[in-house]
């Protein structure tokens, strides 16, 4: 007779207390289970930084809200808990008047930006996009450095793929923001 032992599922608060991995890898909590992924590549960091600067300057100049980077955690689901770390995330002041000073926001971002790394598997990214949208995120940009494109995902709408020569905007999430897709890639 064999006994199957199931690991106890973690809460978002327990996950927040875990030590950072010594090898620099990134962790997320999905349905109470910790997932570990390798640290992003240099190019991934460059693209994230470029997009973060463009969004950050616009958001700050127009006092629109809060932007995070660096895989900062956000709670997307409870019981079991899911904490994802988007490459970039934006919350409007209307939805989140003040950012939390500790822990993770328990409110889905208005906008999420995920930059694909060569190690990313597209079906996993699509599941992640669906988690953001189900949690209340209004728009997700999936940025693909290899083909210099951005796929815009909105709940209940067809995905829109933008490439060089086209302009990315966020409609009513960040009114007035636009950027040529070509400028997102160093």
Per-residue pLDDT of 97-106, as tens digits, reads 999 999 999 9
- Residue count (the chain): 186
**Other CB atoms closer than 10 Å to residue 58's CB: what's the count?**
18
What are the tokens at 58?
């616009």
pLDDT band, very low/low/confident/very high, at 117 (cuts 50, 70, 90): confident
Cα 8 to chain center, whole Å?
26
**pTM for the complete prediction?**
0.91
Per-residue pLDDT of 125-136, as tens digits, reads 899 999 999 999
What Rg value do the Cα atoms of the chain yield, rounded?
Answer: 17
Domain boundaries, the chain: 12-184
pLDDT (mean) for 139-148: 96
What are the tokens at 3?
């006994």
Query: Which CA distances in Å does 169 have to 16, 48, 133, 172, 180?
Result: 33, 17, 18, 9, 9
The residue whose two tokens read 């689901």 is 77
pLDDT at 184: 97
- CATH number of the domain at 12-184, please? 3.90.1570.10
């Amino acid at each position: 007779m064999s006994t199957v032992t199931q690991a106890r599922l973690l809460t978002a608060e327990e996950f927040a207390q875990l030590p950072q991995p010594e090898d620099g890898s990134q962790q997320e909590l999905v349905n109470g289970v910790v997932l570990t992924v390798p640290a992003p590549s240099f190019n991934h960091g460059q693209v994230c930084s470029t997009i973060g600067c463009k969004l950050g300057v616009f958001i700050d100049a127009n006092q629109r809200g809060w932007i995070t980077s660096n895989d900062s955690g956000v709670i997307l689901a409870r019981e079991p808990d899911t904490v994802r770390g988007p490459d970039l995330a934006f919350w409007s002041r209307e939805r989140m008047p003040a950012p939390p000073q500790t822990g993770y926001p328990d409110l889905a971002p208005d906008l999420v930006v995920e930059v694909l790394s060569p190690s990313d598997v597209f079906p996993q990214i699509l599941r992640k996009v669906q988690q953001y949208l189900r949690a209340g995120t209004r728009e997700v940009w999936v940025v693909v450095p290899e083909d210099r494109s951005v796929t815009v995902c909105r709940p209940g709408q067809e995905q829109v793929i933008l490439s060089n020569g086209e302009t990315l905007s966020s409609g009513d999430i960040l009114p007035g923001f636009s950027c040529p897709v070509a400028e997102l890639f160093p």
